[in-house]
Amino acid sequence: MGKKLNNIHDAYFKAMMEEPEVAMDFVKWVLPAEVLHLLKLSTLRLMKDSFIDNRLSSSFSDALFSVEYSSDIDEKALICILMEHKSSPQKHTSFQTLSYLASAYLSQIKQKNPLSIIIPVVYYHGKENWTLKHPIDFFQNTPEKLRNYIPVFNIEFVDLSNMADKELIALRNSMLYSALSVQRFSHNSPGLIDQLSNIIQTIAGQLSGNFLDQTIVYVLEIIDKEPEFIMKITENIQEPLKEKIMSTYQKFIQKGKLEGKSEIVINLHETGMDIDFIVKVTGLSKKTVEDIIREKEVKER
């Protein structure tokens, strides 16, 4: 899976977690009942913090939540949702998770915060089957006395691609069901196309306009179809939703064209072409060309 597609999945996952009802029901869905019993989910809050460092950024993205205990314990737990966004299962994900946990706890210590428990959840929606291995699974032939030194910890592992239809249908939250359905079919364009009309109509009246836009763009990025195809799949969708989809599609196309021209601008500028020449070649305004060049220079500093 290319870096661009990784970023698409990452952005959509984070958009899901920014919807309070979706996030709460997602947490209910992935955590065991005995753990949920200890948490006061009405206090669940998405945090802006992240414990992902440069070493892990190519493997993980995270959504970090704080939640209070349901009892009188004067502590907060941190629920850390990790999304595995590679196209194929990764053999040593449990070790990466261990590194993440160590970094997270050290970060709390460095900031002089009271230590909070972190519950790691690995959420996977790739197209291949995956049995997550724990550190101890890699040392099957190690003498028992030495196995005591191997880190042992729980990871809640969610394999969306291997989830039975009835498990998703059983979700009471139709918003979460629709969002998970989109991600479930993210590696299966025909399957996504078959479900698309129902998915979009299900979430249209229930989620914020921003998330609906992100869902439409996410789908468009994945299926990558021509305008005639988009028109066809919206035939049975009623207004004003149909108009919104087409409007979002047009913005999506224009953004893609601009990104393509941005590459041309940068390439021409790097070969020494002056701005007036670049304006003539690309058809962009002088200000847009200057902005593209300036933005690239800022990123390189």
Q: Is residue 274 scored above 70 in pLDDT?
A: yes
pLDDT for the residue 137: 95
In three-state secondary structure terms, 133 is: coil
Residue reference for tokens 């028109």: 231
**Mean of pLDDT values over 23-37:** 91
Residue reference for tokens 């959504």: 63
More confident: 283 or 90: 90
Q: What's the pLDDT band for 61 if we cut at 50, 70, 90?
A: low
More confident: 178 or 204: 178
Q: Which residues pair with 254 in a beta bridge?
A: none
In three-state secondary structure terms, 274 is: coil
Burial class from Cβ neighbours inside 10 Å (0-12, 13-18, 19+) for residue 186 reads buried
**Mean of pLDDT values over 135-141:** 94
pLDDT for the residue 6: 58
Q: Is residue 135 scored above 90 in pLDDT?
A: yes
In three-state secondary structure terms, 272 is: coil
Q: Terminus-to-terminus CA distance in the chain, angstroms? A: 28
Share of the chain above pLDDT 70, in %: 70
pLDDT for the residue 155: 93
pLDDT for the residue 230: 64
Q: What's the pLDDT band for 94 if we cut at 50, 70, 90?
A: very high
**Mean of pLDDT values over 42-50:** 82
Distance CA 149, CA 139 (A): 11
Q: Is residue 151 scored above 90 in pLDDT?
A: yes
What does pLDDT average to over the chain?
Answer: 77
Q: Is residue 156 scored above 70 in pLDDT?
A: yes
Q: Is residue 80 scored above 70 in pLDDT?
A: yes
Least confident of 156-160, 227-231, 272-276: 227-231
Distance CA 283, CA 268 (A): 14
pLDDT for the residue 1: 45
pLDDT for the residue 204: 61
